[in-house]
Amino acid sequence: MAIFHRERLQTPVTAPSRHTVLLVDDEADNLKVLCAILGARYRVLQACDGQEALELVQAMDHVEDLALVISDQRMPRMTGVELCEQLCEISPDTLRIIVTGYMDVDAIVDSVNRARIYQFVIKPFDRHDFELTVQRAIEAHDMKRRLDAHVLELEAKVQLRTLELSQRNEALQLVCAQLEACSLTDPLTGLHNRRYLQGVIEKDIALACRSGESGEANGDLVFFLVDCDHFKQVNDSHGHDVGDRLLCAIAEVLRQVFRSSDYLVRWGGEEFLVVARFLPRGRAAELAERLRLTMAQLELPLKDGSRLFRTCSIGYAALPFLPQAPQAAGWEQVVKLADCAMYGAKHSGRNTWIGLKAGVTAGPQADALPAVQQAADIPALLSKGLLGVEAALAADQLRWA
């Protein structure tokens, strides 16, 4: 069947493009005419039936360069729709035009669904309309390729930006973690600071108090306050840089004596607070003595070749302070008692330790322990039996003011 009206067979002279078009028809005359018309503008391949066309496409090195397939519908061995259906798998981006002399709407709809046909052309057809159809198909193919390339470019940019954002987020998280660590750490000694202790102590208190109420042997929280003796003399005689070195050396002593799970806190100036976590309170005196001895053995070398020695005064108290009433005294009150015990150690000659505990008459009421503001308040509470004391010195050697 003729595919063009005979009066429209003039061949335009145009520069060939880079697009490849595959023509498939079992009638040689039709191929010759189509090739003559389209060959001036496109790189044209020819096949005499669907099977040959399929083999030709499968043998192509760059099947993505195949922009368009124009196939007759009725051919031996394979119909045009069957060919296009297989090309959907081999070259999905190639557009497909079916040329047919028969008009069947149901068959067309089914073919479009199965073989994703770009357009049906009914023979005979106007050459100008046909060329326009081919041109529009080529333009659609180009647009899709540009869109696909643009999508790939955008996806690559998104991946790159996502990676950059992830890296920046990781860096920001690291900086935030470093800032958080700095906000919880004493910059000189590397020990924790008060803010850190306030953030973690409540959980330990809850566990220690539950242990006291249930009788479980998880241990207590023992608060040790440690003060370097005559520290001011170091700054006055040797300078603040030596004083800073001494504070760092004391921090190392604390790390040596206490466990890594204990809280070591730069409390202020030359004072340090240690929370020995879940330690039986009966071992507090042993630990205090070990700390005193280790500190007394500390030698800090100076630039002139001499060595600096310093001792420390230690006070401690345990929480729950009243085992029979774990909620009767808060941790700040226990720290205050440890602070008073430490000042008692200083008044008693320094280089010693004192621990305070509940006395024999201390009851479970929250007001059983009056507020203690200074070490001078301790003797009255001791005489009433509200407080008890354990110390490295004999009772008659203790001084509270």
Cα angle: 13, vertex 19, 24; to 5 degrees: 90
Give dist(CA 197, CA 213) in Å, integer.
24
Residue partners of 215: CB distance under 8 A and separation at least 6: none
Q: Assess whether 270 carries a catalytic annotation.
A: yes
- Cα 375 from Cα 11, distance rounded (Å): 115
Cα–Cα distance for residue pair 241/234, rounded to 1 Å: 10
**Spatial separation of the C-alpha atoms in residues 190 and 250, rounded to whole Å:** 11
Within a 13 Å sphere around the CA of 231, how many CA atoms are in the beta-carbon half? Answer: 22
The backbone region for 190, taken as left when phi is positive above 0, alpha when psi lies in -120 to 50, beta otherwise, is left
Cα distance from N-terminal residue to C-terminal residue, the chain: 124
State the Cα–Cα distance between residues 40 and 36, nearest whole angstrom.
7
User: Token digits for 72?
Assistant: 């007759």
The neighbour count for residue 351, using CB atoms within 10 Å, is 18
Which pairs with CB-CB distance under 8 Å and at least 24 residues apart come from 6-11?
Answer: 8/126, 8/127, 8/128, 9/33, 9/127, 11/36, 11/37, 11/40
Question: Quick check: 281 and 222 in contact, CB under 8 A?
Answer: yes
Question: Token digits for 382?
Answer: 């001791």
Contacts of residue 289, defined as CB under 8 A and 6 or more positions apart, other chains included, come to 353, 392
Task: Write out the two tokens for 338.
Answer: 């440890």
Determine which one of 270, 289, 299, 332 is catalytic.
270
Residues 334/321, Cβ–Cβ less than 8 Å:
yes
What tokens appear for 139 in the block? 């333009």
Report, as residue numbers or ranges, the catalytic residues: 270
